């Protein structure tokens, strides 16, 4: 069956990016491949398998559902669920050798009542005001955990709030200081753990954040965490070459001519000034192609940019192809990626719709076929 729209995922690019980060962290530091949220839109099962085969030591996911999916496909590598697991679902996590993040006393008490081996990572709150406990709560929390011999504290970690979106990393350094205080408390309580703090930006910029393990997320897919991270990396002379792994393609559904003065699409938001040839593209916001690209986005046809005209609909949108002489239906269209000498990258789309590259790729509908190259 031929696809109407599909993603092409370059597995070699993923492997390349993993090798690049391995050069930065060395062989003694463990590498977690973060594959949550359908591997940032790239397809969780294939990317997880690819990452493990390429040397990733751990896999990071958000939900128990994601972790169980990976276990059902035969993946035996350590998996950490970084999001919340409902108390009634904890037994399923423990039965499948899945590590989980803890920060609630209720969760600890529930795990203890199950009397099953549980591997947990304690999340330390150092500045994001998200899930986690404060360093001054850690000693009491560890004492609570120690009451159950079946609970094994496997890791302690935190997450940076402002290491990506700025070239001023003073807040991140304060967080790092708080985390080091937490590690001292863990040592006093005789807890030996895997310590981890580093996201993609931290991995690249600050070796002192590597500790025992790093969490490689957006960088694994070939994207910089932010323009500021790219600038900082250049300033710090961090040499890393990231290769984007994703190309999004579709095909033209119709070619038609519309007369001067005609309105295009819903809401009559755009009116053309001259006779215009347009192509109908069978992708819309249901597919994850953002509606805010209406009248400002571009696609590639025959290696040329074609402007979106009118509003993006749920399942289709229109582009101006007046400058293309021989376009027929089912011609290949690139929404993200390269075609001939032209490219539309994720950063360009993110800038146009005032968001981040993470959101652009993660929101691509998981039902769209992924083709692994």
* Residues labelled catalytic: 36, 266
- Which residue in the block uniquely carries the two structure tokens 């805010």? 292
For residue 308, give the nearest of 60, 316, 300, 299 by alpha carbon: 299
Rg of the chain over all Cα atoms, to the nearest angstrom: 24
347 has which bridge partners? Answer: none
Burial of 24 (0-12, 13-18, 19+ CB in 10 A): middle
d(CA 219, CA 160): 16
d(CA 16, CA 66): 24
* 288 neighbors 364 (Cβ within 8 angstroms): yes
47-55 contact pairs (CB < 8 A, 24+) = 47/9, 47/14, 48/75, 48/77, 49/73, 49/75, 50/11, 50/14, 50/15, 50/372, 51/14, 51/18, 51/220, 52/77, 54/14, 54/15, 54/18, 54/19, 55/18, 55/19, 55/22, 55/31
120 has which bridge partners? Answer: 100, 153
* 285 Cβ contact partners less than 8 Å away, ≥ 6 residues apart: 291, 312, 313, 314
Phi, psi of 125 (to 5 degrees): -85, 115
């Amino acid at each position: 069956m031929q696809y109407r729209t599909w993603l092409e995922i370059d597995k070699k690019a993923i492997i390349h990016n993993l090798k690049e980060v391995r050069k930065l962290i060395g062989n003694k530091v463990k590498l977690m491949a973060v594959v949550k949220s359908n591997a940032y839109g790239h397809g969780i099962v294939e990317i997880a398998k690819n990452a493990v085969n390429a040397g990733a030591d751990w896999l990071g996911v958000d939900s128990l559902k994601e972790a169980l999916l990976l276990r059902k496909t035969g993946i035996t590598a350590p998996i950490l669920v970084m999001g919340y697991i409902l108390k009634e679902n904890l037994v399923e996590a423990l039965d499948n050798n899945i590590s989980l993040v803890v920060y609630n006393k209720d969760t600890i008490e529930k795990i203890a009542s199950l009397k099953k081996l549980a591997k947990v990572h304690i999340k330390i709150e150092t500045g994001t005001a998200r899930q986690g406990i404060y360093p001054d709560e850690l000693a009491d929390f560890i004492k609570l955990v120690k009451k159950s011999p079946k609970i094994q504290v496997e890791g302690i970690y935190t997450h940076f709030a402002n290491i990506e979106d700025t070239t001023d990393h003073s807040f991140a350094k304060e967080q790092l200081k708080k985390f080091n205080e937490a590690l001292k408390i863990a040592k006093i309580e005789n807890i030996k753990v895997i310590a981890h703090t580093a996201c993609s930006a931290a991995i690249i910029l600050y070796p002192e954040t590597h500790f025992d393990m790093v969490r490689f997320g957006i960088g694994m897919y070939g994207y910089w965490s932010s323009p500021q991270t790219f600038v900082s990396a250049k300033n710090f002379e961090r040499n890393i070459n990231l290769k984007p792994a994703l190309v999004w393609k579709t095909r033209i559904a119709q070619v038609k001519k519309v007369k001067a003065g005609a309105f295009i699409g819903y809401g009559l938001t755009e009116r053309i000034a001259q006779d215009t040839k347009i192509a109908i593209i069978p992708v819309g916001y249901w597919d994850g192609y953002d509606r805010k690209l209406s009248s400002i986005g571009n696609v590639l046809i025959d290696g040329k940019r074609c402007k979106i005209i009118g509003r993006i609909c749920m399942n289709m949108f229109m582009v101006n192809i007046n400058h293309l002489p021989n376009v027929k239906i089912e011609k290949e269209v690139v929404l993200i990626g390269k075609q001939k000498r032209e490219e539309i990258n994720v950063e360009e789309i993110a800038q146009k719709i005032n968001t981040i590259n993470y959101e652009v790729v993660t929101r691509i509908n998981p039902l769209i076929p992924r083709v692994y190259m």
